[in-house]
């Protein structure tokens, strides 16, 4: 299977703990995106990378959030000092570089902060 | 005004009928338009993309785009119970980095 993969699929953590999620994009895709989705809402953009460069971060991404894509392949999203409001599905998507290239999503990581 | 708006539904149609899902967007320079299907507890799955005014057909799905009216729609012909899901409209402005702006989704229920 050469689709987008994410790990872990589920994470339960206590408030105040740090968590890290991993995303492996489709191998030939240059761009990698992170989104967050809460119940009943569409996904909201968080940040994206073109190769290893982080080109944009949403204002939703507070100081507690950091994302990396060190070698232009997989990416990690870290949340420090988690809060209950961080509970959501974290989605990763990848695409080729281009005007109309479609984004394909991974299965997501569901985070529950207790 | 939300950037991308959809009726949240639920939209209920009988099996075999045509389901019509609508979406409006506010950014006139949007260039790419997508429909994703999302089953409960799963991630979005791309089912249609459209970039030019007019219709684009793929199997039972037809996407329609009217840039003058800032309107995108998805028609599902011969609806099946397996089509029951939330349908997300997403819009992309390549000049703003290609990020997708999503509507809140329309829940479709196809009754046998």
Of A41, A95, A108, nearest to B43 by CB-CB distance is A108
- Which residues, 6 or more positions from A2, have their beta carbon under 8 angstroms from its beta carbon? A26, A27
Please tell me if residue A21 touches chain B, with a CB cutoff of 8 Å.
Answer: no
Average pLDDT over residues B47-55: 96
The count of other CB atoms within 10 Å of the CB of residue A5 is 16
Range with the lowest mean pLDDT among A22-26, A73-77, A94-98, B94-98? B94-98
B44/A107 touch (CB, cutoff 8 Å), yes or no: no
A42/B104 touch (CB, cutoff 8 Å), yes or no: yes
Strand runs labelled E in chain A: 5-7, 10-13, 19-24, 31-37, 44-50, 53-57, 65-68, 75-79, 88-95, 104-105, 109-113
Q: What is the pLDDT of residues B9-44, one digit of tens each?
A: 899 999 999 999 999 999 888 889 999 999 999 999
Q: How far is it, in rounded angstroms, from Cα A96 to Cα B94?
A: 12
Measured between beta carbons, which residues in chain B are less than 8 angstroms from residue A45?
A: 99-101
The count of other CB atoms within 10 Å of the CB of residue B29 is 9
Percent pLDDT > 90 in chain B is 84
Residues of B with CB under 8 A from a CB of A: 4, 8, 31-32, 34, 36, 42-46, 49, 51, 88, 90, 92, 94, 97-105
Of B31, B34, B97, nearest to A102 by CB-CB distance is B34
pLDDT score for A29? 92
A56/B31 touch (CB, cutoff 8 Å), yes or no: no
Distance from CA of B15 to the nearest CA of A (A): 25
Range with the lowest mean pLDDT among A32-46, A62-76, B29-43, B92-106? B92-106
A108/B4 touch (CB, cutoff 8 Å), yes or no: no
Distance from CA of A48 to the nearest CA of B (A): 8
A41/B34 touch (CB, cutoff 8 Å), yes or no: no
Q: What is the pLDDT of residues B64-81, one digit of tens each?
A: 999 999 999 999 999 999
Distance from CA of B43 to the nearest CA of A (A): 5
Structure tokens at B96: 């703003």
Q: What is the pLDDT of residues A56-112, one digit of tens each?
A: 999 888 899 999 999 889 999 999 999 999 999 999 999 988 767 799 999 999 999
Strand runs labelled E in chain B: 4-6, 11-14, 19-25, 32-38, 45-50, 54-58, 61-66, 71-76, 85-92, 100-102, 106-111
Residue B89: is it exposed, middle or buried by C-beta count within 10 angstroms (0-12/13-18/19+)?
buried
B88/A105 touch (CB, cutoff 8 Å), yes or no: no
């Amino acid at each position: 299977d050469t689709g987008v993969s994410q790990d872990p699929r589920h994470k339960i953590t206590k408030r105040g703990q740090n968590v890290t999620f991993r995303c492996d994009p489709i191998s030939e895709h240059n761009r990698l995106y992170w989104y967050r989705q809460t119940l009943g809402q569409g996904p909201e953009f968080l940040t994206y990378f073109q190769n290893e460069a982080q080109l944009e971060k949403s204002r939703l991404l507070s100081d507690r959030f950091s994302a990396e894509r060190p070698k232009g392949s997989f990416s990690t999203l870290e949340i420090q000092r988690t809060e209950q409001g961080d509970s959501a599905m974290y989605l990763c998507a990848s695409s080729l570089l281009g005007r109309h290239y479609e984004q394909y999503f991974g299965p997501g990581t569901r985070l529950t902060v207790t | 005004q939300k950037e991308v708006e959809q009726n949240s539904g639920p939209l209920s149609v009988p099996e075999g009928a045509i389901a019509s899902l609508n979406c409006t967007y506010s950014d006139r320079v949007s260039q790419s338009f997508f429909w994703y299907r999302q089953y409960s507890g799963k991630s979005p799955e791309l089912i249609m993309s459209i970039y030019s005014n007019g219709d684009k057909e793929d199997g039972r799905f037809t996407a329609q785009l009217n840039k003058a009216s800032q309107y995108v729609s998805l028609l599902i012909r011969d609806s099946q119970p397996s089509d029951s899901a939330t349908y997300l409209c997403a819009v992309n402005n390549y000049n703003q980095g290609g990020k997708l702006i999503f509507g809140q989704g329309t829940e479709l229920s196809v009754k046998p």
